[in-house]
Amino acid sequence: MTDIDFASARRRLVASLRAEGIIKSERVEKAMLSVPREEFLPNYLRLYAYEDTPLQVMYEQTISAPHMVAMMCELLDLRPGLRLLEVGTGTGYHSAVCAEAMERRGSIYTIEYYPGLALYAVQNLARLGYLDVVHVFIGDGSKGLPKYAPFDRVLVTAAAPELPPRLFEQLAPDGIMVIPIDEGFTQVLYVVTKDGNKPRMKPITYVAFVRMRYSNEK
């Protein structure tokens, strides 16, 4: 496919997501149109860049389906000037969409468990000029990045067995967290806000994400 083919496919996909009500805001629509998903995929997957499906990349990890990226961005209510923590960098695509939704004004701190995947994400983000906004770290995402907290937004792209207490602690008092939680037979996407020091959790929909990895796992 040529660049023109990719651009046309991107426009068709975004129009479809808008028609379905997944994309609700002009901010997220512009972000999804601005970021070339194919640039965050290995060459052998590029032909599938604008199919609305998750794709498995290295280390048995996935790049989320475009509709899920758009939905999570809408739930985060992104805007310029925010400090966002992302757990699960993947190939860097979701970070880039968030950066565009924030008009590249603000800071995104993203953590990836797998060093090789983090390096791949850095290469993608650098090539497209996002490293002035997106800062990539390697480590256990469930611990967050206390050095840079508090965060206005927390985006988790791997299913946790429960609400990670350290991530909740690092969420600003008026912040928003979007996180999938593994509830045994299913996973549920939640929007989490703070009610004092207690979480207020709003279920959104059933989802299927890779499970969150912890650095102390064997």
CATH number for the domain that contains residue 52: 3.40.50.150
Share of the chain above pLDDT 70, in %: 96
What is residue 14's three-state secondary structure?
Answer: helix
| Residue 213 covered by a domain | no
Tally of domains in the chain: 1
**Residue recorded with tokens 């000029």:** 129
Mean pLDDT for 158-166 is 95
Mean pLDDT for 45-65 is 94
Mean pLDDT for 31-37 is 98
| Residue 216 covered by a domain | no
64 is catalytic: yes
pLDDT band at 217 (very low <50, low <70, confident <90, very high): very low
> pTM of whole model > 0.85?
yes
Which of 16, 64, 95, 107 is catalytic? The answer is 64
Residue 178 belongs to what domain range?
A: 3-207
Mean pLDDT for 118-129 is 98
User: In this structure, are residues 198 and 184 in contact, taking their beta carbons and an 8 Å threshold?
Assistant: no
| Residue 218 covered by a domain | no
pLDDT band at 216 (very low <50, low <70, confident <90, very high): very low
| Residue 181 covered by a domain | yes
pLDDT value of residue 215? 54
Name 110's Cβ contacts closer than 8 Å, sequence gap at least 6.
85, 86, 87, 88, 89, 92, 95, 121, 134, 135, 136, 137
